[in-house]
Amino acid sequence: MVSSKLMFTVSVTADKPVVVGQDSVNGRRQLINCPSGTVEGVDPDGKPFSGVTLPCTIDSQVIRPNGVCELSARYGIRLDDGRSFYIENNGIRTVPPEYVETVLNGGFVDPDLYYFVTTPKIEAYDDSLRWMERHVFLCKATRTPSAVEIRYYMVEK
């Protein structure tokens, strides 16, 4: 059995999606600007850290005709003490069959009803943050019409 530990949470505001295109073959391609956000967490020694997301955060999504959302988000993080790291976060969000038309039409579904998991890759720009590059993380995310919260769980040895 694999165990994990919650290390940090990224919460971002989410603008209204910009639809690039939609058809019955590819689904609905949309881009979502996330202009602001916060990060709160602890390092492996339990030392807390906090900061903000940089203003160029973007979430690229395609909602396939079957309702599965494939997403790829990019976040720059600046901690309050000036340290920084970058996150490339890829994942999926699925909804029960009865909600497929809702999401294909740009609607939102109660977060308790869907599966939303991501697998981030992190680049650290300070030696004290290299632990992020040396571990695997899994994320559980929650999407509402105006925000996204992503909880980063470090897979433990």
What is the reported pLDDT for 50?
Answer: 98
Q: What is the pLDDT of residue 82?
A: 98
* Mean pLDDT confidence for 81-95: 97
**pLDDT value, residue 1:** 79
Predicted confidence band of residue 145 (pLDDT cuts 50, 70, 90): confident
Which amino acid, one-letter code, is at 64?
R
Q: What is the pLDDT of residue 122?
A: 98
pLDDT bucket at 128, cuts 50 / 70 / 90: very high
23-57 per-position pLDDT tens digit:
999 999 999 999 999 999 999 999 999 999 999 99
**Backbone torsions φ then ψ of 128, nearest 5 degrees:** -70, -10
Are 90 and 116 in contact, with CB atoms under 8 Å apart? no
Task: Say if CB 122 and CB 44 are below 8 A apart.
Answer: no
Distance between CA 50 and CA 9 in Å, rounded? 9
Confidence band (pLDDT; 50, 70, 90) for 95? very high
Q: Which residues contact 156 (CB under 8 A, 6 or more apart)?
A: 2, 3, 4, 5
pLDDT over 90 (residue 4): yes
Mean pLDDT, the chain, integer: 95
DSSP bridge partners of 85:
77, 124
Q: How far apart are CA 50 and CA 8, in angstroms?
A: 9
pLDDT at 2: 87
